[in-house]
Structure formats: C-alpha cells, structure tokens
Amino acid sequence: MAIAFDASSDSGHVAASSITLAHTCSGSDRVLIVHTAIADTENVITVTGVTYGGVAMTKIGSDAVGTTNARRTNMWILIAPATGANNIVATFSGTPSAWGDVVGVSYTGASQSSQPDATAQQVTAQTTSVSQAVTTIADNCILVGVGLAGSNAITVGANTYARVRSTNDEVVAFENSGPLTPETPPGSFSLAYTSAGAYDLPLIVASLAPVGAVVTAIPRPNLLLMGAG
C-alpha cells in the first residue's frame, strides 16, 4: 500500500502564546505531520509542545534557526492520530514578538511503527536556494519537508512538490514529486526550493515508510564457508 495525502490545514500568522488549528484525519494507517515556525526578534521563544486531540506529538530533529527575526522551524509527527475533526495545539514558551505559524498535513498508508524512517535538516542564512538530502532506510518511502519563504515567490527544485503554503505565505510544506511517488530502492533523495528574494531558508526533510515497508539488510559473510566456526 502506497502512502497517500489525506488532508492539510494552516493557521497563518498568529501572535499568541499558543495556536489552535482544526484538522481532520481520515482513512487507515494514518500519520500526521505538523510544521511549526516562530519569528521572535529576541530569539528566546520556542515551541514547548504540540498535541493533536490532546495526544502529544514528537518533534523531529532540533530547531532550524535562522538569523533574521530569529525564525525557528520544527517538524512534529504523530502515528495513528485520531480520526475525525480534532485540534492541533502548538504551545510556545511565551508570545513571539512577531508571529507563530502552524501547518498540518496528514497521510494514509503509512507504517504504524518506526516513523520517521530518516531525517535531515539545515538552515542557510540569507540565500535564494536550498537543497537537503535524506538517506532512506526502508523501500518505497515518501519524503516530506518544511521550509520558509516569507512573501517571496518560490520555485520548487527537482523531485519536489509544494503541497501547501500557509495563509501568510511563510511556511511551505513540501513532498517529493509525483507527488508522493515512492522512492525505490532506498538511497539518497533530496528536496529543494528557490526563493525569489534572499531569505533565511531552512529545510527539514523526513522520509516516511509505507505499510509493509521492507528494509534492505546488509549481507553478512558466511562464516562457515570462510572456514570459521
């Protein structure tokens, strides 16, 4: 079973100590990805937690921190989120001086254990293009990613699809192109995008394994044939 897009939601810019965003999950073998971003000139405000339907989500990787207005970007994951309409709630350590922004994207057909398959990230200060590779472990993974662009127009790179851009243009949720064409065999795959103007461009990328994913084992030498044992 291949991974498929389920639904998306976004908050746009909110200047508050928490953001509540309605999101509806449906289908089977679900996984929910939430992207959070903060612009805080004092560089002190962080996301302390994200929940969906009251269930805590897990942060993937560490903060991708830019230099302009100290923009922080995170990706969060929840396996088997509840079906139906529930709230994504992102809680901050205080009120950002500029804004917070939340985007949710849910998928079906995803493995219900050992997610994400792999992750990688970077942030490049005041540039116009960024590319990030991730090395998948399981076969037939799909890639998801998050970047920022402000109000700048963006152009996606090879193997990259922009699934949703938040109401205030800031947060962009990416996927591998097709969209969601399974990556096979396992290996190194990239997402990339270009901004029409210079900006702090973070890119956090995760691979998600499908139901029934096969992990390619590294062959071991046969010790008996080598005369050992």
SS3 (DSSP) at 180: helix
Q: Report yes or no: 177 and 160 within 8 Å, Cβ to Cβ.
A: yes
Res 62: pLDDT = 73
Question: What predicted TM-score, i.e. pTM, was given to this entire model?
Answer: 0.91
How does pLDDT run across 120-158, given as a tens digit for each residue?
Answer: 998 888 889 999 999 999 999 999 999 998 889 999 999
pLDDT band at 191 (very low <50, low <70, confident <90, very high): very high
Of 9-13, 38-42, 213-217, which one has max mean pLDDT? 9-13
Distance of CA 219 to the CA centre of its chain: 32
Q: Report yes or no: 176 and 142 within 8 Å, Cβ to Cβ.
A: yes
SS3 (DSSP) at 69: helix
Strand partners, 120: 205
How far apart are alpha carbons 110 and 119 in whole angstroms?
16
| pLDDT for residue 219 is more than 80 | no
